[in-house]
Amino acid sequence: MASTRTLSRLTKALLAPALALGATVGLASAPAHAAVWSSCDQWGNTSLNGYTLYNNIWGSGAGSQCVWANSGTSWGAWANHPNTGGIKSYPNAKKVVNKSITSLASLTSNYNVTVPSSGAYNTSYDIWDTDYDYEIMLWVNYNGAVGPLGSSQGSVTLGGHTWNVYKGNNGANEVFSFLRTSDSSSGSVNILPILKWIKDTKGWMGNETIGDVQFGYEITSSSGGLDFVTNNLTVSSS
């Protein structure tokens, strides 16, 4: 991926609440859903059931995209982005944790998604410390011409999955990417052992306070319009 990917998405994510009433991109009609909330605004966002949902269209050359939600844990996006390079968007749901790694007794998540067989995208967790110095990405599935930032660090089995690990820097923060070695549309992830492995085993970061745990779809292309559906998502911490 381009080194500007994470910086751009972080910048837009931080600005999203202030820009929620800003420009609308495309205003395409999403497929009908029995949704309690929907938005085609570029920075459209809302809070439901303890989760914050973002449409989050931030990449250059983006097309149309709409996000809808039945609840904070059941939502989806319809996207029609051109078949060009570069990430166009990251529609996602966010849960705020605000606990240091050593003070966490547990940090787990369950996911169940329906994703298209065409297009270029990844389905991923995007986990940030409160200072936005470190980004931990967990890719549970991916398709098309997409790839992680940084260099390969080998593979590791953690949190109930086996991952190929990459480490990089986008000029603003460190990025640790964990790519599941086989695609999965549903499952559970024990996130805390991954954070402890980064901190204690590798020494790549200290006792950071974990802020945002995001889950969504990093979309590069979805020409013609594709559906990305989160059938269920839960993030739990103690």
Q: Name 203's Cβ contacts closer than 8 Å, sequence gap at least 6.
A: none
Where does residue 238 rank: exposed (0-12), middle (13-18), buried (19+ CB within 10 A)?
A: exposed
Predicted confidence band of residue 28 (pLDDT cuts 50, 70, 90) = very low
Q: Are 74 and 230 in contact (CB under 8 A)?
A: yes
What pLDDT does residue 17 have?
38
**Whether pLDDT at 64 is above 60:** yes
Query: What does 142-181 look like in DSSP terms, one character per residue?
Result: EESS---SSEEEEEEEETTEEEEEEEEE-SSSEEEEEEES
**Whether pLDDT at 105 is above 50:** yes
What pLDDT does residue 51 have?
98
Backbone angles phi and psi of 191, in degrees to 5? -75, -35
229: left (phi over 0), alpha (psi -120 to 50) or beta: beta
**Whether pLDDT at 27 is above 80:** no
What size, in residues, is the chain?
A: 238
**Whether pLDDT at 73 is above 80:** yes
Residue 20 or residue 88, greater confidence:
88
What pLDDT does residue 21 have?
32
From CA 80, how far away is CA 201, in angstroms rounded?
Answer: 41
pLDDT in tens, 106-150: 999 999 999 999 999 999 999 999 999 999 999 999 999 999 999
Predicted confidence band of residue 70 (pLDDT cuts 50, 70, 90) = very high
Query: What does 94-134 look like in DSSP terms, one character per residue?
Result: EEEEEEETTT-S-EEEEEEEE--SSSEEEEEEEEEETTS-E
What pLDDT does residue 10 have?
52
What pLDDT does residue 71 have?
96
Handedness of CA 25, 29, 34, 36 (dihedral sign): positive
Q: Name 201's Cβ contacts closer than 8 Å, sequence gap at least 6.
A: none
pLDDT in tens, 183-232: 999 999 999 999 999 999 999 999 999 999 999 999 999 999 999 999 99
> Which domains does the chain show, CATH number per domain?
4-237 (2.60.120.180)
Predicted confidence band of residue 34 (pLDDT cuts 50, 70, 90) = low
pLDDT in tens, 155-179: 999 999 999 999 999 999 999 999 9
Strand order of the sheet with strand 134-143?
45-48, 51-54, 92-100, 209-221, 120-129, 134-143, 174-180, 161-169, 151-158
**Whether pLDDT at 12 is above 50:** no
**Whether pLDDT at 11 is above 90:** no
What pLDDT does residue 140 have?
98
